[in-house]
Structure 1
Amino acid sequence: MRSPRRRRGVHPAAAPACSAMATGAVSPRSPLAAKKRAVVVAGDDTDADVFDRLPDDIVLVVLSRLAANAASPADVASAALTCRRFRELAAHPAVLSRASAAAFAVRWGAWSEAAHRFLRRCAAAGSLHACYFLGMVRFYCLGSRATGAALLGRAAGGGHAPALYALAVVQFNGSGGGKADKDARAGVALCARAAWLGHTPALRELGHCLQDGYGARRDAPAGRRLLLHAAAREHLSWKKHRHGHHDDDGRAAEDAASRFMVAWWDSHRAKTAARGCLPGEHDVGEDDTSDLRLCSHARCGRRETRRHEFRRCSVCGAASYCSRACQALDWKRAHRAQCAAARWLAAAAAADGVAH
């Protein structure tokens, strides 16, 4: 019987095992295994930042969705601080133009040149909410009437309802100009456009204009219907807010601008009191604007741009309002009791005068 022969040049230890051949495993010393190890090592080097593999278009889509659903400016800022690439892409116009109104809700305490620059960049990118917020701040707080009105006009041209109503208030009062600059018809037209877009204060203002015949043909029944509609919408909005439902972006932008202006003028009043200035006094080099009044509606924040610009309560004369809508809201919430007390005091004083 012949003995089995071995192949020349093949050592038994170097021969692959049968089990390995059956399972299809690759020897660690084979060229294929070495190639796989090289691929894995190369992959480990690039896995240090997996976002580098994503195309810019995908990252822009993700950042745009994040900005559109942002609940505060910190949401966009935290995404931009991730890495240098994210910081560059977060400043892309496609991201800034889609940011929600809450992304621009800058608090007065956080106001800085960087925040101002961020708002300017967003407005230049085409964000209507940024145009409205920055326009209100510049017009009523910073004193830049022309640029503020231009920003509000840009937002209104894009169909931003609060910006349309803000321009209507400017037209009704002739803000930034004189009494001759009042244009009631233009204010009514802007209010009608904002009311058609579902803006409740504009709806209430339009109802008062129709009821009084101010800037439009008098139609008392239509005005009362609009006022009832505005009251119903306000009640429904209050119920939604009570149950935790968020308002639309337009309402959020308007509330953010009003909160900023209220805090701005509160701080201005506190600084004036800290300097020891009495009412009617002012420092050298400053404009004499101490007699300019704020709107008495606590949540408005608008301030007169000239003396005696706002309308006053016809009974007591102590409250000033930028619009009929603010007057109606403040009457229901606070001024009814204050004005009633003033009337009682006046009636008592008149009775004492007659008695004596």
Structure 2
Amino acid sequence: MRRPLRHRQVSSHHKKKKKHDLLDALPDDVVVSILSKLTSTASSPCDLINVLSTCKRLNRLGLNRVVLSKAGPKLFAIKAKNWSESAHRFLRNCVNAGNLHASYTLGMIRFYCLENRESGLSLMAKAAMKSHAPALYSLAVIQFNGSGGTKGDKDLRAGVALCARASLLGHIDALRELGHCLQDGYGVRQNVAEGRKLLVQANARELAFVLRAVARSSSSASLLTWRNTLSNHSSSASSVSSAVCPLLSDYGYSVAVPEVQPANWFLREWFESGRGRLGNGLRLCAHIGCGRPETRPHEFRRCSVCGKVNYCSRGCQALDWKLRHKMECSPAEIWPLEEDGGGAVVVGGGGGDGVGNDVDVRNGVV
């Protein structure tokens, strides 16, 4: 008769070793370094939220100033419907940690959504002084339109200077804006040849961005898929950036829909969802990737042909013309002039019949 098998005795030392968490063996500075890398490459706020909810130690280290200062722009892609005092406090903590993306995002939200103009400008200026290109360009748009003030508060020279700084940092929209300013003599001495040169450079950078996106794509079939993000604003910002526009660019290539900045996407969601309310006669910029609202009636200029769309800047007009409006624009039968002309600039090449302060979009893309 065989003896029954005896269960092996497990020592208490072995049990403790089995339950030991290797994370506890890592020094705090190593964990902070790992978390900093995570936040700088995060694709959404959930990446950090999942870490903070893991354990007390990661929650404490995840809110370390070093980690918050390294956070990338996509970590601040907060949905307007989820806006709360907790989200506001998190952005303030990131700003206090020296994060430029947080300064820009919170500045845009305060200036346009919460209508705290002074604080919003201060935060965007804080990021701009540290050479944050989107903040520089946003300040330029505000200067061109006199946003938050009256028509007399426009400062065209300051807008051109801010665009020039942003373009040197590689901001395509700022470079395109600067090219139109030089071409039309808006806020700067007119130089048609130099303006057209800058517009060509902007298109070349846009094309380079598309080619890099194609090279990174694992499947060429995905480039043939077009999701109608223009009519469905409720889709996520990531779906907008991954879509491909069926239109042809100036060089005959398929143009990828530009990635929407989290701050701009928040603005559009905020007003289109009803969370924020536009005053009487105020409109949003017609470009899907902008979301900027007017701060006074007729601040933006509208298309001189159809009179149905309006833009806060040349950059938004040029992108929306290639993306959508070129196929939809048709002359309006009756279009009365507005008393208070807009604060944007005339966009387009020569030969347009733009009236007053309106945007001539038919020849708007060089």
TM-score normalised according to structure 2 size: 0.72
Structure 1 residue 158, shift from structure 2 partner: 1.2
1:333 aligns with one of 311, 323, 327: 323
**What is the aligned counterpart of 1:257 among 255, 259, 263?**
263
TM superposition shift of 1:254:
5.6
Structure richer in helix, relative to its length:
1
The counterpart of 1:294, out of the listed 274, 284, 300, is 284
After superposition, give the CA deviation of every residue in 1:61-97 in whole Å (9 maximum; x if it has no partner): 1211121221211111111222112111111110000
Contact 1:105 1:253 in 2 (8 A): no
Secondary structure of the 1:268 match is: coil
Contact 1:101 1:252 in 2 (8 A): no
Query: Does the Cα contact within 8 Å between 1:101 and 1:253 map onto a contact in 2?
Result: no
Structure 2 equivalent of residue 235 of structure 1: 207
In 1, Cα distance between equivalents of 2:287 and 2:259 = 18
Offset at residue 181 of structure 1 (A): 1.0
What is the 5 A alignment of 1:1-356?
A: 40=13, 44=16, 48-244=20-216, 255-268=261-274, 289-339=279-329, 341-342=330-331, 345=333
Using the alignment, how far apart are the partners of 1:66 and 1:252 within structure 2?
24
SS at match of 1:119: helix
Give me the CA root mean square deviation.
2.7
Q: 1:253 to 1:46 in 2, by over 3 A?
A: farther
The structure-2 alpha-carbon separation of the partners of 1:181 and 1:46, relative to structure 1 and needing over 3 Å to count, comes to farther
Structure 1 or 2, whichever has the larger Rg, is 1
Residue 263 of structure 1 aligns with an amino acid whose one-letter code is E
CA distance in 2, matches of 1:252, 1:320: 19
Q: Distance in 1 between matches of 2:298 and 2:159?
A: 19
Bigger mean CA offset, 260-269 vs 121-130: 260-269
Query: In 2, Cα distance between the equivalents of 1:144 and 1:204?
Result: 29
Residue type at the aligned position of 2:161: A
In the alignment, residue 150 of structure 2 is paired with which amino acid? G
Q: Distance in 1 between matches of 2:306 and 2:126?
A: 39
For 1:11, the equivalent position in structure 2 comes to none
Distance in 2, Cα, partners of 1:304 & 1:177: 11
- The C-alpha deviation readout for 1:76-123, integer Å capped at 9, x for no partner, is 111122211211111111000001111111122332222221111111
Change (3 A) 1:46 1:120: farther
C-alpha contact 2:287 2:316 (8 A) present in aligned 1: yes
3-state secondary structure, aligned to 2:274: helix
Using the alignment, how far apart are the partners of 1:112 and 1:44 within structure 2? 43
Give, in angstroms, the shift of residue 243 of structure 1. 4.7
SS in 2 for 1:309: coil
Name the CA distance, whole Å, in 1 between partners of 2:303 and 2:258: 29
- One-letter identity of the residue aligned with 1:258: N
Name the amino acid aligned to 2:299. Answer: E
Deviation at 1:203, TM superposition (A): 0.3
1:238 counterpart letter in structure 2: V
Q: Give the residue type in structure 2 aligned to 1:153.
A: A
Moved beyond 6 Å, runs of 4+: none
Code of the aligned partner of 2:97: A
Q: 1:117 to 1:46 in 2, by over 3 A?
A: farther
> CA shift at 1:185, angstroms?
0.4
Residues 252, 44 of structure 1: alpha-carbon distance in 2 compared, 3 angstrom cutoff: farther
CA contact (8 A) 1:316 1:342 kept: yes
Distance 1:143 1:243 in 2: 42
Distance 1:195 1:241 in 2: 21
Aligned 8 A contact 1:67 1:76 in 2 = yes
Deviations 1:326-346 (A, max 9, x none): 11222222223333x225x57
